[in-house]
Amino acid sequence: MYVTGMLHGARLLEFIGFAAAEVLGPDAGEEEIKGLIARHGCVFVKPVFKGGIGKKGKAGLIGRACDLKTALDEKARLYFAEHRVGNTLTKANGVTFEGMVPSEHEVYFSISDSTRFRAPTMTLTYHGGVDIEDVDKRLVAQIPFDPLTGLKAFVVANALSELNAPKQIISPLVQHLPKLWELFHNFGMTTLELNPIRMRPGRQGRLTPVACDFKCAFDRDDDARWQRLQLPPQIFALDYSDFEQEINQLRTYQGQSDVYVINPAGTILAPTFGGGANSLVTEMLGDDAIISSDFGGNPPYEKMREVARICFKHWLEQTNVLFIVGGKSNNTDIFETFRAMADALREHFGTYGPSPLYVVIGRGGPNLVRGMGAMRDTLDGLGVPYRIFGFDSALSEVIGYAQAADAWMKAGGREAVAAKLNCAQLAVA
């Protein structure tokens, strides 16, 4: 989950004493904005988007103002600006005012967990302020380093020397950039990016690195250290539906809660366990899938039961096939997750009445037989038709079976199941 922009980024950088551009939030008054302009000459007005939103500058969504009237005009233009990246349309809610930092040099810097090097990796170039993908690879240093020792000054110095960076920027960067490892490591981040860092000249001519844009991501599912920052919870919420908002509130140290609505008119509800399984399920089901999800990570009974309750409340009425699927787990207790989902389904039927449904299950892992037994007993008690596949079944074939079951339900099976269940109302998908 991303935190972007200087509104919160400047506060995070204070923990390590890294200089940042002065910033005012959406609630800044006219006198505050006027004072910021007086101190810095000009300000940049940027819309506040939830989540990681890039390419705002190319889209004309960054304003520059050197007087109060222009600043307020830019605020009115950008406060509820809309920005499309690919198929995603995001709406802003507020703006920030950031003091301009004069500089001849701009630097790009990031730390990320690299799957290529299997280690934290520093990416650095003195051609900052642009998309890193657009910079000539010969001008970008990507250096993995040992997480036990952290990012040392000599790693930064060697990288800048190899890039033939201007001499006047090397010493200040070597002094300050290693501090960013403390922020990255101490608070459970997976990505930390400053772009650009502007090299502000001081009175004696010495340059100081100043962060002018900020982005970071936290591992909120498996690392609880981010909670020490006491960030407001709303900054982690994107423009989600009510369903996604409810699910995301269940994030705990144990178990994942990654979910995204693919097609609100879909007919297959697929609570999925594991990233690999989720990728294949999402790709093969296409528009038939209602959600894309990953509920793995050994969620406890209480969390899984609540996740299932929310899924059923929002989507079961239109669902033809409840497709509970995942790969062969290493650590997720199948009995606990299946028992939780079975109890949630029984409670849903008790509260809202029976729903015409076909259940397909494909899973492997610890306590598999007990888990399948618990699910079978519940489905038999509810009178819901089902098919269960074990760990020795190919995942692609199980997905194909779920699609065939959905086709059968659409071709009259839903009415047949509804008649068997004596549904008072038949919600035809």
pLDDT at 222 over 90: no
Which amino acid is it at 161? S
The tokens for 302 are: 């209480």
Work out the pLDDT band at 326, boundaries 50, 70, 90.
confident
Tens of pLDDT, residue by residue over 244-263, are 667 766 655 455 666 778 88
pLDDT of residue 249: 66
329 beta partners: none
Q: Residue holding tokens 């059923």?
A: 312
Work out the pLDDT band at 425, boundaries 50, 70, 90.
very low
pLDDT of residue 58: 60
pLDDT at 339 over 80: yes
**SS3 of residue 305 by DSSP:** helix
Q: Please give the sequence-ordered ranges of beta strands (E in DSSP) within 252-381, or none if there are none.
A: 258-261, 268-269, 272-273, 291-294, 321-328, 358-364
Mean pLDDT value across the chain: 86
pLDDT at 362 over 70: yes
DSSP letter string, 34-69: HHHHHHHS-EEEEE--SS----TTTTT--EEESSHH
pTM over 0.85: no
Work out the pLDDT band at 107, boundaries 50, 70, 90.
very high
CA distances from 177 to 155, 181, 190 (A): 10, 8, 17
pLDDT of residue 427: 42
pLDDT at 273 over 90: no
Task: Return d(Cα 322, Cα 315) in angstroms, integer.
Answer: 10
pLDDT (mean) for 116-139: 87
pLDDT at 424 over 70: no
Task: Return d(Cα 407, Cα 401) in angstroms, integer.
Answer: 10
Express as a percent the part of the chain with pLDDT over 90. 54
Residue 144: CB partners within 8 Å, gap ≥ 6?
114, 117, 118, 119, 120, 121, 122
